[in-house]
Amino acid sequence: MDMFLQLLVIGLAVGSIYALVALGFVLIYKSSDAINFAQGEFLLVGTYVCLTLITAYNIPFLPALLLTLLFSALLGLVVERMVLRPFIGEPVISMIMATIGLSSFMAGCVHLFWGTDTQVFPKVFPDTPVQIGPVVVAQVYLWSLLTVLALLAVFTLFFKYSKMGIAMRATADDQQAALSMGISVKKVFAATWAISAIVSAVGGVLLGNINGVNSSLAAIGLKVLPVALLGGLDSVPGAIVGGFIIGILESLAGGYLDQYLGGGVKEVVPFVVLVLILMLKPYGLFGKREIERV
Amino acid sequence: MRSPFVSECGEFCTSYRADMALYKIPRIRYRVYGVLFLFLMLPWFVSEYATSLATLCAIASIGAIGLNILTGFTGQISIGVGAFLGVGGYTSAVLTTTWGLSFWIALPLAGLVTALVGALFGIPSLRLKGLYLAMATLAAQVIILYTINHWDGLTGGTGGMILARPTLGGFSFDSEMSYYYLTLTILVGAFIFTSNLFRTRTGRAFIAVRDRDLAAEVMGINLFRYKVLAFAISSFFVGLAGALMGHYTMVISPEHFDIGVSIEYLAMILIGGLGSVVGSIFGAVFITLLPVVLRELIDIVTVYLPQATEHFGALRQMIFGAIVIVFLIYEPEGLAKMWRNFKDSCKLWPFSY
């Protein structure tokens, strides 16, 4: 039972990061129908920038994080303008391949500037583990869970009350209607990419604190797909719920099944879930069902 | 007798039969034979190294033609080619190395097994479209690779498997030149099959499914049958390519078939031209030779910038990504379209308006 709770808590913490990154993914899909296969690389770039600011320029963690977020937002804007805008309304495969090309390009840049060795994130959170009932948890996990929950709350409020948030929801709902109401769809797309890059960077910094920083962090970009699909590709609450479910499933499967199946179950479980969802409920838990009219 | 220097400047077919012909005018037939002859003569004039590159290009072309049947002609996106190559390679490895079967039996069987696996993963394509299908094939990639990695008893796990070069009678395909001819023969076969496929009922149905699957269904095309068939035919060629690759490198391990390979193959057909058989070959050659050319360039630059060599991997990734994006933005129909444009401008030259 203790092991179960332990795995559950770790799953929750990792799942919260998945939820955050999936949020960025879903935002882009919802507003511009674009699928971002480069989400993992956005995360990677953000993490490395933050790391460099802290270690090479000796900036304290919080200001460094703020600078990173600023940088990520700019990166998102530039990428949207340079790469994605020509593909609005193009076939799905062009969009998929363009973001795959983008991810390859960004991964190459990261290798070029930062090499491939694993780097350790300087300690931000205290080392001493916390005891909650029978479960012992590293503080990093708790902090990441809290950060993510806070961010998710902020974004919920943002979408509900701010002008930009409402404009984004309107665009996602019906692009033409939004245009005719005087919403600048271009600005909305730009903002979406900026926000998506920001949440990825936060996710990356948290993951970097847990696992150390190397290019394998970008693999999360692929894991986000099952998460987003489980929740429904165009549903923000879905991304959050999906993130937690996948995180917990992954952690439990890793804990209980690894010994029978020879390790690495964690990596494959999200994709088995993905196949099951696609077969049983292709539009996920909360996704909008597409109806094709001839 | 028409002058060999005058070419047609439009469509002048007067019957459906003429419109469907593979060679619209006799000259094209001779040109194709000429190109084939050049490729047959190639290994006699270039070094062993160049021959080995040509072999790799030919193997990649077979796989790219396979993927193009599925993605370019039938419109079903697949991000799982890497794993299907793996299925082909490992099937052949198990059949020849473990069970001791002949290569000539193992090669078609590798294709058939891959076709079966491909058809299996093609079944969801009835309900899923575009993005959702891409994700299903991505899942196929991860799950198949996991199976290969962990089914130690059959596949040797992460250690991989050893294969032998094929033999025919007393002759062994050990030399670069002999293996080149083997792959070239299979490539020509694949090329002829695919070019003709799209003149048949089945191929036409594939194109109809791509253009608008609902309309195709209304016109009486059995969507399920043709989508699964497209997956099977496509995977057959991909499996052949995987097996040929395995017997060429003589060792296979899971990392030869990871998601990066799937992406490379997708890039091949996009850069070559979706829905073009010749384009698949252009793209395969382009993507296969890209790192080679880059390596040469870096060797030249190294004289001035000694640290350039260690950044080869990073630069390769960056340039690959950049080329994919640039092609998608400026020439979405790929090298095949560029080649067509070039031919058209030759036809009209010097009055190019």
Q: pLDDT per residue over B75-92, tens digit each? A: 898 888 999 999 999 999
Is the Cβ pair B266, A225 closer than 8 Å? Answer: no
The whole-number pLDDT of residue A292 equals 67
Q: ipTM of this model?
A: 0.86
Is the Cβ pair B329, A272 closer than 8 Å? Answer: no
Residues of chain A found within 8 Å of residue B337, distances taken between Cβ atoms = none
The whole-number pLDDT of residue B8 equals 66
Residue boundaries of the structural domains of chain B = 24-257
The pLDDT confidence band at residue B264, using thresholds 50, 70 and 90, is very high
The whole-number pLDDT of residue B209 equals 92
Output the CA angle A252-A45-A13, nearest 5 degrees: 25
The whole-number pLDDT of residue A102 equals 92
The whole-number pLDDT of residue A294 equals 60
Q: How far apart are CA B13 and CA B73, in angstroms?
A: 24
Give the pLDDT of chain A (294 residues) as one tens digit per residue. Answer: 778 888 888 888 888 888 888 888 888 887 777 788 888 899 999 999 998 898 888 888 888 889 999 999 999 999 988 888 888 777 778 888 899 999 999 999 988 888 777 777 777 777 777 777 777 777 878 888 888 888 888 888 888 899 888 888 888 777 888 889 888 888 888 998 999 999 889 888 888 888 778 777 778 888 888 888 888 887 788 888 889 999 999 888 888 877 777 667 778 888 888 888 887 877 778 877 767 666
Question: Is residue A106 a contact partner of residue A42, using CB atoms and an 8 Å limit?
Answer: yes
Least Cα separation, residue B24 to chain A (angstroms):
31
Residue range B192-196: average pLDDT?
Answer: 93
Which residues 208-237 on chain A approach chain B with CB closer than 8 angstroms? Answer: 222, 225-226, 229, 233
Phi then psi dihedrals of residue A233, to 5 deg = -60, -30
The whole-number pLDDT of residue B115 equals 96
Q: Which residues face B221 on adjacent strands?
A: none
Question: Is residue B194 a contact partner of residue B276, using CB atoms and an 8 Å limit?
Answer: no
Higher per-residue confidence, B234 vs B345: B234
Q: How far apart are CA A221 and CA A40, in angstroms?
A: 4
Q: Does A277 touch chain B (CB under 8 A)?
A: no
Instruction: Kindly compute the dihedral angle of the four CA atoms of residues B287, A110, A141, A253, in this order, to the nearest 10 degrees.
Output: 20
